[in-house]
Amino acid sequence: MNAGVKRRGEQPQAAERHDRELRVNVVFTDLAETLLALRAAARLAADLRAHIVVVVPQVVPYPAPIEAPPISTAFLVHRFRTVADDMAIDLHVRVYICRDRRTVLAVALGPQSLVVIAGRRSWWPTREQRLAAELAHLGHDVVFCTHEWGS
Amino acid sequence: MTSARILVVDDEPQIRRVMRTTLVAQGYQVDDARTGEEALEKLRAAKFDLVLLDLNMPGIGGLATCRLIRDTSDAAIVVLSVRSSEKDKVDALDAGADDYVTKPFGTPELLARIRAALRRVPLAGDPVHRVIELAGLEINLGTRRVAKEGKEVRLTPKEFDLLHYLVTNPNVPIPHGKLLQAVWGPDYGQEVEYLRVFINQLRKKIEPEPSKPRYILTEPWLGYRFVMPSRSDLENP
């Protein structure tokens, strides 16, 4: 765990057990897009016998103390649990309180991870497209899904 | 064409004899067993395509034998019985039988039912049961097992289906859409990224060096190609 990055959201034992299995990482972007990514991840996870981890980088801007994120971690975890229950999928939520999203993704994703990101695709790369490209450049296996994907 | 192997299971020696004569005359390879126990032993020792099974037998009985065969074998099972009630038929079919023929029956009808049952199962000598041996990699299409350097590789059913399709269509580029539809079904076709993930997983599991694939090659803008080395390539790698 790096300085300035705190992971919350699940019991350490469960996290260690899941670290040994193939995991599909869903990177939180915004709620609607993350739900889309979760649907795609659920199909992948079922066919690959993998489990899903939602990585939520919660950026706390510099003037604010990192111990006091603007949104409660428990609230974020609860929100995903409710969504997961509705979709009948098994997932783990890892909320990382950090100063910078790139730093936290370097910590949260292992080498050559399988990552699902949802977003809008445009001729001028959107924020999500850029993030997907950066992660692919770092060697991760990135699935970028849009609203047309697998609908 | 491969002739099917049939196991006749009946405690009546006359019936076994008549069956053997009739079936051999039709070109089938026939073996027989007097009891369910003997049948299970023979099925463990050899591969049969179809089992003709009597229900009334001493020992573990026809229904229990049927269940035990179905637990371990994908051979077609045709039950032969004097019992003609609906309940007996339902019990036998629920126990794993593929067909139920009531005694007495005519030979043409029995042969037709055997042919129909065999149409639904792949024959033991068919390519689907082939074992493909490549350098350091063994793919058993019948048992759905893959071994790399002698160690079993765990593939998910979808990963195996994908590999199966690729190895049974070797050395030709297969478009993304065709692969997706063959493995995932007709609703798929556009999910190229989804396919890429599975190809990457397969490469990690079966390739000697996943970053420099030797078997599953990418055909840019088209799809993938499974490279099946020729015999001379395997002998002189």
Q: For B50-101, what is each residue's pLDDT tens digit? A: 999 998 888 888 888 998 888 777 788 999 888 888 888 888 888 888 889 8
pLDDT score of A15 more than 60:
no
* Phi, psi angles (nearest 5°) of residue A3: -65, 140
pLDDT the model gives residue A5? 45
How crowded is the C-beta side of B135, counted as CA atoms within 13 Å? 16
Q: How confident is the model at residue A114 (pLDDT cuts 50, 70, 90)?
A: very high
* Chain A residues lying within 8 Å of B207, measured CB to CB: none
pLDDT above 90 for A146: no
Q: Cβ contacts of residue A27 below 8 Å, gap of 6+?
A: A37, A55, A57, A105, A115, A116, A117, A131, A135
CB B97 within 8 A of CB B79: yes
Closest residue, chain A, to B202 (C-alpha): A48
DSSP annotation of B4 reads P
Give the residue from A110, A107, A77, A109 showing the smallest Cα distance to A94: A77
Q: Do A47 and B200 touch (CB under 8 A)?
A: no
**Residue A108, H or E segment:** helix A101-108
Instruction: Work out the pLDDT band at A142, boundaries 50, 70, 90.
Output: very high
* Chain-chain contact of B193 with A144 (C-beta, under 8 angstroms): yes
Set of chain B residues whose Cβ sits within 8 Å of the Cβ of A145: 193
Cα→Cα distances A126→A29, A94, A140, A141, B183, Å: 12, 24, 19, 19, 32
pLDDT at B90: 86
Do residue B194 and residue A43 have CB atoms under 8 angstroms apart? yes
Q: Which residue of A has its CA nearest to B194?
A: A143
Does residue A16 have a pLDDT over 70? Answer: no
Q: What is the pLDDT of residue B88?
A: 86
The arithmetic mean of pLDDT across residues A66-81, rounded, is: 78
More confidently predicted of B57 and B233? B57
Residues in chain B with CB shorter than 8 Å from the CB of A40 are 194
pLDDT of residue B207: 93
Q: Is B201 on the interface with A (CB under 8 A)?
A: yes
Q: Is the pLDDT of residue B120 over 50?
A: yes
Interchain CB distance below 8 Å, B197 and A44: yes
Per DSSP, the residues of B7-71 read EEE-S-HHHHHHHHHHHHHTT-EEEEESSHHHHHHHHHHS--SEEEEES--STT-HHHHHHHHHH
The confidence band for A19, taking pLDDT boundaries of 50, 70 and 90, is: very low
B158 touches chain A (CB under 8 A): yes
Q: What is the ipTM of this complex?
A: 0.73
Closest partner residue to A143 (CB to CB) among B157, B188, B194 is B194
Q: Does B197 touch chain A (CB under 8 A)?
A: yes
Chain A contact for B190 (CB, 8 A cutoff): yes
What amino acid occupies position B200? N
Among B157, B188, B193, whose Cβ lies nearest the Cβ of A143? B193
Q: Is A43 on the interface with B (CB under 8 A)?
A: yes
pLDDT tens digits for B171-226? 889 999 989 988 887 778 788 888 999 999 999 999 999 889 999 999 998 999 99
Q: pLDDT value at position B124?
A: 54
pLDDT of residue B126: 55
Structure tokens at B84: 């003609």
pLDDT at B233: 55
Q: CB neighbours (10 Å) of residue B156?
A: 18
C-alpha to C-alpha distances, A73 to A15, A76, A80, B218, nearest whole angstrom: 17, 5, 11, 43
Span A79-84, average pLDDT: 77
Q: What is the dihedral of CA A132, A138, A141, A147, to 10 degrees?
A: 0
User: For B24-45, how does the pLDDT look when each residue is reduced to its tens digit (9 = 90+)?
Assistant: 888 888 899 999 889 988 888 7
